[in-house]
Structures are given as structure tokens and as C-alpha cells.
Structure 1
Amino acid sequence: MDITDKLSFFPSLYQVVDHPKLGMWMLYITILLLSILVYKLGFAQKLPILKSVVIYTFLALGCTVLTFLGIFLPVAEGLVVAALILIIYKIRLHQSKKQEAEKI
């Protein structure tokens, strides 16, 4: 049984089995950037700088665990889907507000 058959899309794209150090760093950065994007699109509020630093620090620590889970589970793929849904929601919300403003 070959382990590369069980990898999800991003780990196989980054060739985690052949180049483990570089592949894991690329997977970590991908998951971190997607997590930041999902956080910004769905949950972020205006916070003081120190609170933002604390949140992003814990987000980076949490992404470490998600990176190890993301080797065989579709963590990054789920974040891509979540980001796409939130982007579509934000676009539709913007269009709706624009139409409301034009009616008035």
C-alpha cells in the first residue's frame, strides 16, 4: 500500500512525501493564509492592535495542529470552500446594499 494514495490534494501537490520539510512548510503557510482569509471574511472585527496580535498568534498555533491533520484530511480544501462561500456572501451583501441605496 502506497501512502501517497491517501494524501489529500494540497499535501500531494506540495509532495510532502518526497520533500517533507519544504512540503510541510508550504502546507502550513497555505493553511495559515486560508485561515486568516476565512477569519477576516467571516469573523473579524475592529480590535486594538494587541488583541489582534494575540488572536493571530493563537491562529498560527492552531494552524500547526491543522497542518498535521491536513496531511491525510482535507483541511486546506475545506478552508478553500469556506473562503469561497464567504467571498460569494460578501459580494452578494455588497450588491444588496448597493441596490438598497439606489432605491432611496
Structure 2
Amino acid sequence: MDATNVSPIFDFVLNHYPNYLFWIFYVLNLIFGAIAFKLGFARKLPLLKTIFVYVMLAVGTYIITIFSIFQMPITESLIIISLVLAIYRFRLHRQRKRNNSYEKTPE
């Protein structure tokens, strides 16, 4: 068994699409996945757990990038998720700021 022919999916992706296209999708998916994680995860994690999460995110992003190459809307979905979470966090920040200003005003 040849080591380069491990999986037919990987073989198809690497042989039929330009190498730069796959890596462009990978970087875009990684960036928007990291943004979605940062905006969607409420708690601060310790440093080692954060590093572990980002390493697993990089591995998982490689796998979902294969689906992006096969015309599935992975990158588009990550962009929409990031936008929705950014809007939510912005509105939450404005609401908290407004509530704090109401509490500080003397009656």
C-alpha cells in the first residue's frame, strides 16, 4: 500500500484542486472558526486549555476545509456565524453599559 494513497478523499483534493485554493479556504475557515469560538465562548479558559482548544480547532478546520472544497457552504456558514455572534456581543455590551449607567445615576 502506497503511503500517498491513504484516503481517496485526500487524494482527490490534493490531486484535482490547486494547492493554494485548499490553503486559502483553510486559512479563512481557521480565522472565522477562531472568531466564532472567541465570540461564542463565555468563559475565560486557562492558557493550556486555550492552546489545546486552538490546536483542536486547527485540526478540525483541516477536516471541514475538505467539505468546503466539495461545494459545501462551510466558509459562508462560518462568516454568518461570526457576524451573528459579533452583533449579539455588541448589543449585549451596549445593554450592559446602559444598565450600568442607570444604576450609577442618583435619584
Tell me which residue corresponds to 2:89.
90
Tell me which residue corresponds to 2:21.
23
TM-score, normalization: structure 2? 0.76
Percent identical residues: 36
Q: Does 1:33 align with 2:45?
A: no
Deviation at 1:79?
0.5
Unaligned runs of 5+ in 1: 1-17
What SS is found at the alignment partner of 1:73? Answer: coil
Question: What amino acid maps onto 1:55 in structure 2?
Answer: V
Task: Give the root-mean-square deviation of aligned CA atoms.
Answer: 1.5
Q: Deviations over 1:58-100 (max 9, x none)?
A: 1100001110001210000000000000011011101111111
2:63 corresponds, among 53, 62, 65, to: 65
TM-score, normalization: structure 1? 0.78
Tell me which residue corresponds to 1:78.
77
Q: Deviations over 1:9-58 (max 9, x none)?
A: xxxxxxxxx96111111110000010000000001532222111111111
Question: What amino acid maps onto 2:55 in structure 1?
Answer: T
CA distance in 2, matches of 1:48, 1:57: 14
Tell me which residue corresponds to 2:13.
none
Is the radius of gyration larger for structure 1 or structure 2? 2
Tell me which residue corresponds to 1:101.
100
